Structure 1
């Protein structure tokens, strides 16, 4: 049987947020000071990622020191530079002569249309990294409108005016000594449903209720046809980015496969998902203390990620003119 777990059950990792609430953007950092195995699976048509080629199983690097989830679209990749600087200042990374070179990978979501036209920079990345070291292992990592989820929203099929606020969600599970904790910033084009299939956040209709995605798609297609709109070739305007932290001992190839399987949670909870307007990404960061079957890690991580996605919209608060799921719940 699976049992609940928390980030406190994974002492090999440090986690921290930083955000600019006025601007509506931020970043979240996951640090393995001793290094850890990392894999990634990127889906959707518009990813903004950093150093993910290093994580291909055939490539040389076997140890990663940090994963960064950030707002700001491609501009937000700058946050990882600050994380590198902070880690190097703490003597973390590969020794190269007199230098320290930490391996930092990451992914960004598009939140430029929420709040102000701003993005995480190196300074904010460094702040988030420092916060990861300052946070007590027993202190829960905040959820909702924080870190990479500060400017996150969902349900944008009919435009940002009918969207809802989302954020960061966390869910952890364990099977014996094996632990998997999922953390995700949900910034999807589509709607989010709970485990029963009920829509809990997404594109809002004229009465403020949540529309079924197929109905919203039909309206969107009709509007585009009437206006003769062509497919847009600009930056990806959405993207859900998440990570599974685990104490499993798995290889880089196995961590990559775990990430691939965990995308099932995205498909269960977000509809539609992996579209041309999303750059959905899952990292798996494994510290290697517990021998485990990769499939067990994948199943545990998938269930945890589905729970984290639901929490990302449940824990969000109304902001930037967007209502949140808790607002709808209060009016029912």
Structure 2
């Protein structure tokens, strides 16, 4: 059998951006978890939601026409809509640290969030909650975060159009690049209906297989074009969520535009993307720590390239789900 050559992904991490910390909480009772990005001094933020089945919190606040300029954290969580509760714990952590927007007698930490669906594996009643978010925030640091089957990527899977039994393992990944004194990083929890594609070759790295115990990746989009129509899926059973961050000085409108451009990285590495069953959401954080305004054309190219690298790294770092009562879901490492 032909052995697939794995791509060499871009290095670095989103924590290479000054002012950004990342922490994971990984649930041990079933495959799920959450990941927190802290910007303790605040970061100008934007968001772009492309999938048709999103689960989000505080995204309206990020509209350039709305009042608050900066956020203090972004939470990426498993658990579907239940996982939005993790943001409550992050707010508690930040309030205890005295971080937030002054409001009346106290402060209000601004915490945006997006969730992915991972309730199919193990006891669905176990999902990230406020305590999970608190613990992830408490663990946050500026070191390169762990990748693969941790945090929000713990229960992530890809290639689910023909059913979860033919899927492969997704995960969480990160990457960064620096140009002209400005650094931009990305992090992505990859849990797509579609396949993950190596953009340098067009080959499927991880995705739908020919059978529940099969090793061959069929190529979802190609299968559909051949007339292989999948069974009807329940909406909201997937979703890739992530964030980019930069130390460039951004306006809210520029942050939103960079979040939009980062979706190009998803489109290069996931096929199909932005489906009716995904709630794909990307945040953008600008810490301004470089003091440089930055060129939006350059930043946009960086955003797409670095996000694509984060998706590939998430897939290569993922490991098979191993939990009681959970069917084995192979990773790229298992099948290559």
TM-score (norm 1): 0.91
Q: Larger % of helix: which?
A: 1
Of 281, 285, 304, 1:302 maps to 304
The structure-2 alpha-carbon separation of the partners of 1:29 and 1:188, relative to structure 1 and needing over 3 Å to count, comes to: same
Q: SS at 1:326's partner residue?
A: helix
Q: Shift of the alpha carbon at 1:251? A: 0.4
Task: Give the gaps of 5 or more residues in structure 2.
Answer: 1-9
Quickly say closer, same or farther: Cα 1:115–1:220, change in 2 above 3 A: farther
Matches within 5 A, 1:109-258: 109-117=116-124, 118-132=126-140, 135=141, 137=142, 139-195=143-199, 196-206=201-211, 207-217=214-224, 222=229, 224=231, 235-258=235-258
2:109 to 77, 92, 102: 102
Cα separation, 2, equivalents of 1:81 and 1:26: 15
Number of residue-to-residue matches in the alignment: 316
SS of the residue aligned with 2:210? coil
How far did 1:265 drift?
0.9
Separation in 2, partners of 1:41, 1:140: 25
**Equivalent position of 1:268 in the other structure:** 268
Instruction: Write out per-residue CA displacement over residues 37-94 of structure 1, whole angstroms, 9 at most, x where no aligned residue.
Output: 0000001110000010001111111011111100011000000011001100000001
**Structure-2-length-normalised TM-score:** 0.90
- Counterpart-to-counterpart distance in 2, 1:113 and 1:268: 27
* CA 1:21–1:235: 2 relative to 1, 3 Å: farther
Secondary structure at the aligned position of 1:239 is classed as coil
How many Å apart are 1:115 and its aligned residue? Answer: 2.9
CA contact (8 A) 2:30 2:122 kept: yes
Q: Secondary structure at the match of 2:285?
A: strand
Following superposition, the deviation at residue 6 of structure 1 comes to 3.6
How much has 1:296 moved relative to structure 2? 1.6
What is the root-mean-square deviation in Å for CA atoms of aligned residues?
Answer: 1.7
